Amino acid sequence: MNRRYRKTIIAGNWKMNKNPAETKEFITQLKPHAARAKWCETVLCVPFIDIPAAVKAAKNTRVFIAAQNMHHESSGAYTGEVSGEMLVSLGVKYVVIGHSERRQYFGETEDTVSQKVRAALACGLRPIVCVGESMSQREKNLTLDYVRMQIKTVFWDVDPKDVKKVVVAYEPIWAIGTGKTATAQQADEVGRAIRECIREIYGARHARSVTILYGGSMNPKNAKELLAMPDVDGGLIGGASLQCDDFVQILDAADQ
Ligand code: 13P
């Protein structure tokens, strides 16, 4: 973390879990803890149907609500899709883009990710964009090349004034939901390469303003060590964000 230049963010990604009543209960429990956090912004990435309940429960707190996906057009004949403008109208502040589960199960590509990033920024949402390698890419020593390619696509045509609004989440695919965490050194090495790539495109001032999260089996036990690294500015947490107690322990680790 480096609080001088960029925000620390702890974001829970609930994936396809919890209904509106459970959402309200969770946020009621979380509220006093989030209010205590001095340095760290708390974000909850909830299913679409939970957004109204989440925004209502989080009103006047320091908890921000994110969607887990959006469509790049603002409206039109796209059955089953939700646009960024619709999310903004509900009070959503962040949106996850290009999670590896969306790439793996729903056909998202570098191209759709890039379109969605620009669409999110255009309507005032902060994108949390996921990048990360598979185990076979890591074994072939392709991690840094692959992630650099992803970062170049993510930032393609992004205006310099918007760079600091983009949050990058480094989520190695092999660490998601597997209980296998990247070591703090591995997470930091890729975080550093991501920042270096942004620096090559936009320069040092912009690069140091970008928050880079780590995601992949982050939990109350390993959070402190990961968050101590200079290029790990927070976490995108799946499984361990479903229990408020676990999530609060991670939040506390980030706020020290
Ligand atoms: P887990 O924390 O369950 O490994 O999930 C990480 C993730 O995919 C967050 O977006």
Active site includes 33?
Answer: no
3-state secondary structure (DSSP) of residue 54: helix
Instruction: Given the residues 41, 133, 171, 206, select the one marked as catalytic.
Output: 171
Confidence of residue 65 (pLDDT cuts 50, 70, 90): very high
DSSP state letters, 141-205: T-HHHHHHHHHHHHTTT--GGGGGG-EEEE--GGGTTSS-PPPHHHHHHHHHHHHHHHHHHH-HH
**What pTM does this model have?**
0.97
Query: What proportion of the chain, given as a percentage, has pLDDT over 90?
Result: 93
State in Å: Cα 248 to ligand 1 middle. Answer: 16
Q: How far is CA 211 from CA 64, 140, 172, 218, in A?
A: 16, 28, 17, 17
> pLDDT digit string (tens) for 92-105?
999 999 999 999 99
Rounded to whole angstroms, the Cα distance separating 113 from 162 reads 16
> pLDDT digit string (tens) for 13-37?
999 999 999 999 999 999 999 988 8
> pLDDT digit string (tens) for 35-45?
888 889 999 99
Q: What is the pLDDT of residue 1?
A: 80
Query: What proportion of the chain, given as a percentage, has pLDDT over 70?
Result: 100
Rounded to whole angstroms, the Cα distance separating 47 from 67 reads 7
* Residue 151 near residue 111, CB atoms below 8 Å: no
State in Å: Cα 124 to ligand 1 middle. Answer: 25
> pLDDT digit string (tens) for 153-207?
999 999 999 999 999 999 999 999 888 889 999 999 999 999 999 999 999 999 9
State in Å: Cα 207 to ligand 1 middle. Answer: 25
Q: Give yes or no for residue 250 CB within 6 A of ligand 1.
A: no
Residue 253, pLDDT > 90, answer yes
Q: What is the pLDDT of residue 139?
A: 95
Q: How far is CA 4 from CA 7, 8, 34, 84, 211, in A?
A: 8, 10, 20, 30, 12
